A and B are shown apart, each in its own frame.
Chain A
Amino acid sequence: MSDTRRMLAETADPLFAELGPGATAERDGDRLDELGLPLLMVSEADGGFGGTWLDALTVFRLAGYHGLGIDLPRMVVARIAAEEDERFFHLMAFARAAQIAGALDAALAMVVGYVNDRQQFGRPLGKFQAVQQSLATFACEAAAANCAAVGAAQALDEGDAEFEIAAAKLRANRAVEVGTTVAHQVHGAIGFTQEYALHDLTRPLWQWRSEFGNDAYWARRLGKDVIARGADHFWPDLTARTD
């Protein structure tokens, strides 16, 4: 991780943890402004932070991880793209993919903590193989969402990232299905309460999955493109994107 990114993470992490899901722009917006976070992607020449998309990924992920109540990613993107532009839609799809990746990791950590703690039949739930296998599946999905978000950020930093954003949002969307299902199942009734914080992660996850392109939308867009390019282009196109 670059030094800028580490520094960003070190400032954003505790702040987002403190503000959490209850944060509102009216009350807490100043705190974000103080750190210059909404100007993350505005160039230094224009008085901004001049960040890269990998920097943005770090911040957006953390916003997802802590279920930050303020839509900071939207503030960041709105500074560099007009809401009615296609580019805004794409960048927000990327932002949601990054938030999903972060929130899934947070939910996974919560679930792992819970199953190590909660005892039934005389042992922690985490000792039961069926529980372990569901959590392993969840971990793989969270890993895939994270990798996809990194891939999209890297492509954005290099230029045209339409394919990668589409693929990353679609992959993240799909991970939401497994992640939220397993997280709630394993928590039992407690996870279904207002008092317990799981919903601070799963409710945003459900919302982000349908924002800026649901599964069907991105799958069709990607599919049409791949089909139009033809079977013989698929692999060469894929490798040309990274070479």
Chain B
Amino acid sequence: MQTFATEVVDWPDTAPALREQVRALVAEHGEPDPVRRANSWTKADPAFSRRLGEAGLLGMTWPKEYGGHERSQLERYVVIEELLAAGAPVGAHWIADRQSAPLLLRLGNDELKERWVPAIARGEAFACIGLSEPGSGSDLASVRTAARRDGDGWVLNGQKVWTTGAHVSHFMIALVRTEAGSERQAGLSQLVIPMDAPGVSVKPIIDLTGAHEFNEVFFEDVRLPDSALLGVEGEGWKQATAELSLERSGPERYLSSMALFLELVRYAGPQDNPALEELVGRLAAEAWTLRLMSASVAAKLARGEDPALEATMVKDLGNSYEQAIPQLVQAAVDFGHNESAALRAVCFYLLQVSPSFSLRGGTREIIKGIIARGLGLR
């Protein structure tokens, strides 16, 4: 039984030059605080996103017609893994570049595409994902936020929650019930909602580190034009779940704690400590393997395949890895030393945020359930 057919990745010839370009840009922008480099894909910095847009590093694979650069999926992969490995603050545009714009390009009408995609490629429009609701977490098919037809448009009412970046986003792609009285996966559609539409309000949720990354979003008689419908009415479930392959296998699923690993290597340098050497070796082997796995999925996506099972496995292994690093470092390092200040700061920051790694994008239990289905057990 082979559950993960590895693709031998043929890395693009342009990779070294692209890496140089990204490294230079990140160095110029400079993020001196090692804590800010950890979990960097949630750190919003609109100015940095615009710099990437100017440099042609957003919307890399999209048609030129929509402000894209028509480069290959693997070239994009090279850029995003460089950004994450360097801990660049990519949070503002991350969701828009990773999944919202590709979704709009695949399913959107001309109006939606023209309005949003070029602005995303410039690093000027940001997006958020409206899936979760107070009653719908793991059981996503229970969403209740509803839009009803009204003349030649929609009227939307309801609430989303845990919406990362809603407060810095320009639009949301939401999964809502468009057929009154429908149940579960049926009667759901995806709508594109401008965050400045009258009736949309955003209320911050402060996380346990004191940071403001996610929000509650309320819809009160929000009027949307007919063109707000993304894709096909009633096909929202299928569309939203297909999107998840893009979300699950990327390097952001194993590199969140890379900043801590690098601080660990720096700290271990002068120590001559076999336990630390072993830990570094173990984590390095895992990083190498996960990079292969994640790139293998990217190569399959680039060929138009949908390696949903493989993508899910990368998320599960990757989350477990990035979540284990702070715990392992804490167990192995004697934080009494002065020279460990940066290591300590990054470690304690990641200890606090890492519980979210196996929640966001689907919980560990739900992910393992999907893998079990792939094994033919359900």
A residues in contact (CB < 8 Å) with B: 54, 105-106, 108-109, 112, 115-116, 126-127, 129, 131-133, 135-137, 139-140, 142-144, 146-148, 150-151, 154, 163-164, 166-168, 170-171, 174, 215-216, 218-224, 226-227, 230-232, 234-236, 238-239, 242-243
Give Cα distance in the complex from A148 to B6, angstroms. Answer: 9
Q: Are B3 and A222 in contact (CB under 8 A)?
A: no
Interface residues on B, range: 35 or more
Assembly CA distance A224 to B282 (angstroms)? 11
- A170 and B285 contact, CB distance less than 8 A: yes
A137/B368 in contact, CB under 8 A: yes
Binding site secondary structure of chain A: helix
Bound-complex Cα distance A135 to B373 (A): 11
Q: CA A235 – CA B261 in complex, angstroms? A: 11
Closest to B288 in A: A167
When chains A and B are docked, how far (Å) is the Cα of A137 from the Cα of B378?
16
Q: Does B179 contact A (CB under 8 A)?
A: no
Q: Which B-chain residue is minimally distant from A216 (CB atoms)?
A: B278
What is the chain A residue whose CB lies nearest that of B18? A243
B66 to chain A, nearest CB (A): 29
- With known contacts A139-B371, A151-B292, A223-B281, A109–B266 Cβ distance under 8 A: no
CB pair A148–B279 under 8 Å, yes or no, is no
CB distance from B368 to the nearest CB of A (A): 4
- In the assembled complex, how far is the CB of residue B268 from the closest CB belonging to chain A, in whole angstroms? 5
Cβ A227 vs Cβ B296 within 8 A: no
Q: Which residue of A lies closest to B255 (CB)?
A: A235
Residues of A within 8 A of B85 (CB): 235
Cβ–Cβ contact B368 & A148, under 8 A = no
Interface of B is mostly: helix
B113 at the interface (CB under 8 A from A): no
Q: Which residue of chain B lies nearest to A129 when distances are taken between CB atoms in the complex?
A: B369
B287 at the interface (CB under 8 A from A): yes
- Residue in B279, B295, B313, B375 whose Cβ sees the most chain A Cβ within 10 Å: B375
Is residue B376 contacting chain A, with contact meaning CB distance below 8 A? Answer: yes
20 A-B pairs with CB atoms under 8 Å apart are: A109-B1, A132-B375, A132-B378, A135-B372, A137-B368, A139-B3, A139-B375, A143-B310, A143-B313, A219-B281, A223-B281, A226-B265, A226-B284, A227-B269, A227-B280, A230-B269, A231-B269, A234-B262, A234-B284, A239-B15
Q: Is the CB of A133 within 8 A of B316?
A: no
Are A243 and B371 closer than 8 Å at their CB atoms? no
A contact residues around B371 at 8 Å (CB)? 136, 139-140
Is A143 in contact with B4, judged by CB distance below 8 angstroms? yes
Pair A148/B281 contact, Cβ less than 8 Å = no
Within 83-111 of B, Cβ neighbours of A (below 8 Å) are at: 85-86
**CA of A137 to CA of B3 in the docked complex: distance in angstroms?**
12
Closest to A108 in B: B1
Give the residues in chain B near A235, CB-CB below 8 Å: 85-86, 258, 262
Using Cβ atoms and an 8 Å threshold, which residues of chain B touch A171? 285-286, 288-289
Q: Mark B48-82, 1 if CB is under 8 A from A, else 0.
A: 00000000000000000000000000000000011
